[in-house]
Amino acid sequence: MAVFALHDFIEGAIDRLVMKSNSDGKTTTARITFLPHVEYDTVDPILIKYLKGEIGDVRQKSLLSPNLKQELEANHIEYEVKKCGTCPSARPKAYYNPFKLVKE
């Protein structure tokens, strides 16, 4: 069993299409709304791998602000900065895993 939660600095709910196992043990998807400050436990090996970022793309895309950068770095969360190459006025975005493993 593993227990996951959103990182503490995340204030709003995150609606996510996740990868998980169905009743036959095959991979399927499900839409789940994750709430801040709530822990979620699962024994589903596919969902665990997804939330850890080992399969699929679990990353959250947020506008990179000084506050977000500070939170990511203070919490030792790996992130990638991307900017639209064809949009000259585009602002950079941070891509990071919004989930933390509380207990495995």
What is the pTM (predicted TM-score) of this model?
A: 0.86
Q: Is-contact 58 46, C-beta < 8 A?
A: no
As a whole number of angstroms, the distance between CA 14 and CA 33 comes to 6
In which domain, by residue range, is 85 found? Answer: 2-103
**7-31 confidence digits (pLDDT tens):** 999 999 999 999 999 888 888 999 9
Total tally of structural domains belonging to the chain: 1
Q: How would residue 86 be classed by pLDDT, with cut points 50, 70 and 90?
A: confident
What residue has token string 């789940």?
32
As a whole number of angstroms, the distance between CA 62 and CA 9 comes to 13
Q: Is-contact 32 26, C-beta < 8 A?
A: no
